[in-house]
Structures are given as structure tokens and as C-alpha cells.
Amino acid sequence: MTDIYEFEGKTLCNTNSVLGEGPTYDPDSNTVWWFNILGKELHELNLSSGQKKVHPLPVMASVLARIDAGRQLIATEEGLFVRDVASGNLTFYAALENDKPENRSNDGRTHPSGALWIGTMSKRAENQAGAIYHVAGGKVTKIFNGISIPNSICFSPDGTIGYYTDSRINRLMRVMVDPQTGLPSGEPIVLVD
């Protein structure tokens, strides 16, 4: 699979991935990050310099959230890790699904409050084997269960609405969210079927 990332009509990067996921933009460093999940790689593209780096990982990973200039939180098949940007060293942070070693992380996004939503799925894409989790303040909370392939996690700019899809059933879900915490404040409803 070739990942082509475009910005203002220009191709930013044309690179091959086995399974590309999790593009994240860090405005402070003007850097785009993304994962080659099955290839166990974290890709880095600095938009100011055009410099591209590929960081090998010991595990499959798919979600990155900036903690500060020197640290990132990444979601992997073995849980959540803090990544030191300078050295690439990973430090275990929290379990995600210790009871489901056949699962891995998939899509995720940072809520305007700073909380992180992370979707999980079976490595074999089994029906309803995954979930979506909320991560904040050192606590991991399951917020939605029975999801096969979580994708398209995103939020309204004011943080009051969350969206996600289960690519297996092709439904775009909408849920009201507490803008202060990033936690759902209602039940998800089908927005587009």
C-alpha cells in the first residue's frame, strides 16, 4: 500500500506501508507523524525541512498523541507507552486490553480537552471484538464496546460532539461529549448508515 499525504494540493510524502494509520500533526514542530502498523514503524515528516525519518518499533502501534515537546503517548498492541522523542525509548504507561492479547490498537484522536480516544480491534478483524477507550489523567476507561473495526474518531471543534465509525458495518456514529473531560454524555446514535 502506498501512503500519499497531500497538503494544499501538494504531495507531502509518497511512501509504502503495509497498513498505514494514525496521521497526527504537531503544529509546534510542524511535523506529521503516522504509523505503518504491520511494518512496526513510526514515520516522521518535518514539513519545514522536508526531512523524513522512519523509526522502527518493537510492537504494532497506531495512535500518537503529543504530551509535550519531548514526549508522545502511543497506543500499541501491548498497551500504552510514553515515547521519548529524542531517543525513541518507550516506557510502559498503562494496559489497554491485557485480557485480549489477540487485539491491537487501531484508530484514535485527541479530544480538545486533551483526553485521548483509542479504538481497538482483533488482529484477525473478528466481529465485535474491539472497543473505544478514553484515556486521561492516568486512567483508561472503556466507553464503547462491541466494535469490529473502529475508525474515523474525531470531534467537533468545541469538543461537544464525538464521531466514529465501525468500518465493518459502515455506520457513522455521533455522540454528545462533555467538552471539559472528553467523556461521552449521551448514547451514540447513527448519523449516516
Domains of the chain, first to last: 103-193 (2.40.10.500)
Amino acid at position 70, single letter:
G
pLDDT of residue 184: 98
What Cα–Cα distance (Å) separates residue 162 from each residue in 22, 35, 117? 17, 23, 10
Give the torsion sign (CA, 120, 37, 43, 74).
positive
Query: How far is the C-alpha of 172 from the C-alpha of 151, rounded, in Å?
Result: 9
Q: Is the pLDDT of residue 1 over 60?
A: no
Hey, how many other C-beta atoms are within 10 angstroms of the C-beta on 152? 14
CA-to-CA distance for 39 and 9, rounded, in angstroms? Answer: 28
Please give the pLDDT value at position 18. Answer: 82
Query: Distance (Å, rounded) from C-alpha 33 to C-alpha 13?
Result: 11
In this prediction, residue 19 has a pLDDT band, given cuts at 50, 70 and 90, of confident
Q: How far apart are CA 171 and CA 189, in angstroms?
A: 10
Residue 174 confidence (pLDDT) = 98
40: left (phi over 0), alpha (psi -120 to 50) or beta: left
Report pLDDT for 182: 97
Q: Residue 84 has what pLDDT?
A: 98
Average pLDDT rounded to a whole number, residues 31-52: 94
SS3 call for 10: strand
Cell of 156: 467537533
- The pLDDT of residue 22 is 87
Residue 160 — very low, low, confident or very high, per pLDDT cuts 50/70/90? very high
The predicted-structure confidence for 142-157, as pLDDT tens digits, reads as follows 999 999 999 999 999 9
